Amino acid sequence: MPRASIKASQMSDLDLPKDGAPVLRKRLSGFLANHSAWKGPLRRALRRITDNSWSAVIFGGVLRDLLIFGASEVPRDVDIVVEGVTASDLERVFRDLIFETNRFGGLRLRTKGWLIDIWCLQDTWAIRNKMVESVGLRDLVRTTFLNVEAVAADIGAVRGRPRRILSSGFFEAIEKQVLDINLESNPHPALCVIRTITTAIRLDFFLSPRLAKYIVEQTRKASVRRIMEAQESHYGKIRIREARISEVVASLVEQLVDASIQRLKIPATRMEQLELWKYWDPTC
């Protein structure tokens, strides 16, 4: 059975860790320490960071999926944020790996099967635009739109000390299996809508009323057509059809009528989950 099929069939029966930080720390350390040949390009890229003694974290979706799916997760896309360096420093160190500029104003690196997005802390949109006051990497986790992305972990680790894990409601979100808004201010609300829908279906998670209302309001403001354009531009393909988006919004509107419902669900079939697993990019 394909790996995506195995995961999708397990979505409703996830045995999620109750004490997430130690579990994530262990799984990330195991992931980084594993010397499988396919991880070689990633290890060599990360070594450039540690060789320069930079303070840097792995951020967002890869950590979420390592916590939820453990050793079965095989990420190929990694987000990295670096503190105390400039864009010129990144270009100098990673010049031979640069593929393009990412949407954060950082660099997208391509290295033998891996895509690595790396950018400077000060270039994070919410920090650059003073939506979040920043004094260091610990403030990075307050900049994500979704709570299930609000997690970061140090790349470097000091022997005898636990690896630093930073979060903003992330572990509570995983335990409760509820997506919510971490920071509403965002330059791409249409993209936030489609990313929320795909994430909720893929993980089989609920939505908070606040997030459901956001999806409904943004769909009315931007129109379903604008959301279609956003997903095609971002993903390079249509993952959720226009009629399906309208169906999701209608379902959320119906559920929001009942104020007693505190966890809203996007109805989805196993086939739909399988399709999203097939084309999933954890950095999106």
pLDDT for the residue 13: 44
pLDDT for the residue 251: 97
> Helices 40-51 and 87-94, interaxial angle, to 10°?
130
pLDDT for the residue 18: 55
pLDDT for the residue 247: 94
Q: What is the radius of gyration, based on Cα positions, of the chain? A: 19
Angle, CA 195 vertex, CA 189 and CA 196 arms, to 5°: 90
pLDDT for the residue 254: 97
**Position 237: which residue type?**
K
Residue-level length of the chain: 284
Pairing type for strands 98-101 and 165-167 reads unpaired
- For the chain, what are the domain ranges? 17-176, 179-278
Which residues, other chains included, contact 244 with Cβ-Cβ below 8 Å and sequence gap of 6+? none
Per-residue pLDDT of the chain (284 residues; tens, 9 = 90+): 233 433 433 444 445 555 789 999 999 999 988 888 888 999 999 999 999 999 999 999 899 989 998 866 677 789 999 999 999 999 999 999 998 887 767 899 999 889 999 999 999 999 999 999 988 999 999 999 999 999 999 998 888 889 999 999 999 999 999 999 999 999 999 999 999 999 999 899 999 999 999 999 999 998 888 899 988 887 788 888 999 999 999 999 999 999 999 999 998 877 777 777 655 554 44
User: How far is the C-alpha of 256 from the C-alpha of 278, rounded, in Å?
Assistant: 31
CA 274 to chain centre: 19
Q: What letter would DSSP give residue 103?
A: T
- Token pair of 186, please? 């965002």
The sign of the torsion formed by the CA atoms of 156, 112, 231, 125 equals positive
CATH hierarchy code of domain 17-176: 3.30.460.10
